[in-house]
């Protein structure tokens, strides 16, 4: 099983004194688009005012331009430790034991805007780039990533993909039709019996769900096996629209 997560706008700073090595990232077929986007970000960073406009940065966030300028030389952290925010706080990968972290490394990828999907334990620097940003000098991120990511995932041939990304990042990496998959929506029951989609709790539930997977490390090859494990572990999964499942949580 491959679990796909969205990135987070907020990131932990610092890391190991090991620079980004694009050749060592998961999905090595993505090297060419990765190099192109990284170089475009570095080039943009040479003009601070232009970078602030393109990246839509406030005065307080202008320091993030320097992060982009140093993409090839800055310290790196495992991707799952680099990202912070509600989802990653709930996942709390730093508190997991070695076996659970190894499971994350083998089964979880995080869809980033500058590097495409990276493995949970791939070493990446801090950066600032959102899915919808239009970078000077390159085509749209969607055109850069969509076909390349689809082909890279197809080539990796996962038995089953559990897609917990937001729609913006799904657009940067649509899944191949040849791979069995399920897109996850987080919902909560309402007094009338209907299910309502969640926002803040959506991210928390996804993080907690992936943490539970890492701790239990079940063998899952399809939705039925996922549902069976979830039920045995105190989670509720129900069918959603075509190709989707709903993770039901109580607020």
- Do 57 and 133 contact (CB within 8 A), yes or no? no
For the segment 53-85, what is each residue's pLDDT rounded down to a tens digit?
Answer: 999 999 999 999 999 999 999 999 999 999 999
For the segment 77-109, what is each residue's pLDDT rounded down to a tens digit?
Answer: 999 999 999 999 999 999 999 999 999 999 999
Q: Average pLDDT of the chain?
A: 94
- Enclosing H/E stretch for 248: strand 244-248
Categorize the per-residue pLDDT at 243 as very low, low, confident or very high, splitting at 50, 70 and 90.
confident
Categorize the per-residue pLDDT at 188 as very low, low, confident or very high, splitting at 50, 70 and 90.
confident
């Amino acid at each position: 099983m491959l679990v796909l997560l969205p990135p987070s706008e907020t990131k932990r700073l610092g890391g190991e004194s090991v620079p980004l090595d694009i050749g060592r990232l998961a999905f090595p077929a993505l090297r060419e688009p990765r190099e192109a986007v990284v170089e475009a970000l570095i080039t943009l960073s040479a003009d601070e005012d232009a970078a602030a406009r393109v990246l839509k940065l406030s005065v307080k966030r202008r320091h993030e331009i320097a992060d982009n300028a140093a993409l090839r030389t800055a310290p790196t952290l495992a991707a799952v430790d680099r990202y912070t925010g509600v989802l990653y706080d709930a996942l709390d990968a730093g508190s997991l034991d070695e076996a659970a972290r190894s499971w994350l490394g083998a089964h979880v990828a995080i869809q980033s805007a500058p590097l495409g999907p990276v493995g949970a334990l791939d070493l990446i620097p801090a950066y600032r780039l959102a899915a919808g940003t239009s970078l000077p000098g390159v085509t749209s991120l969607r055109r850069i990533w969509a076909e390349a990511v689809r082909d890279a995932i197809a080539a990796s041939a996962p038995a089953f993909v559990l897609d917990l990304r937001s729609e913006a990042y799904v657009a940067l990496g649509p899944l191949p039709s040849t791979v069995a998959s399920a897109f996850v929506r987080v919902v909560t029951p309402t007094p009338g019996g209907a299910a309502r989609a969640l926002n803040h709790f959506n991210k928390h539930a996804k993080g907690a769900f992936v943490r539970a997977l890492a701790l239990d490390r079940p063998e899952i090859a399809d939705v039925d096996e996922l549902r069976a494990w979830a039920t045995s572990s105190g989670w509720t999964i129900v069918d959603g629209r075509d190709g989707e499942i709903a993770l039901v949580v109580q607020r």
